[in-house]
Homo-oligomer: A and B are copies of this chain.
Amino acid sequence: MVLTTQRKAIIEELKKLKTHPTADQFYEVMRRKTPKISIASVYRNLEVLSSAGMIAKLEVSGTQNRFDGDISMHYHLKCSKCGGFVDFSPKGSKTLSKSLDKVKELNMNIDNFNIVFNGLCDKCK
């Protein structure tokens, strides 16, 4: 996997966003910067970069995948009112993280996991 100029730009732009865009939303963002980029390359590169662990793919939200430039461990909430998809630190998340670490430690066959909370975001509640 070659880290081309385009791929570097994708990583850089994605890291700036806190919106966890879908591939087509992110295509619109990239297009403003580099109008000749194709949607095929966006799909392809988001896939390639997430497989390489350089960005995160959130395989949770209904239908479309979402992508996140922040690859550190954190949780997400899908707002049932505004539909937004936001970073989320629920009360009790430290205990939860410990439980999840423990589960991963005890079950060697688990690579990772996806978890998304559904409810009202701070703005909507």
Contact = CB atoms under 8 A, between A and B. Distances in A.
A61 B63 contact: no
Interface string A92-125: 1101101110110111011111111111110001
Contacts of A98: 99
How many copies, total? 2
- Chain A, interface SS category: mixed
B102 A92 contact: yes
Contact of A114 (B63, B102, B111, B115): B115
Interface of A: 59-65, 77, 80, 90-93, 95-96, 98-100, 102-103, 105-107, 109-121, 125
A43 B102 CA distance: 38
A20 to B, nearest CB: 15
A103 B91 contact: yes
B59 A62 contact: yes
A60 B107 contact: no
A80 B111 contact: yes
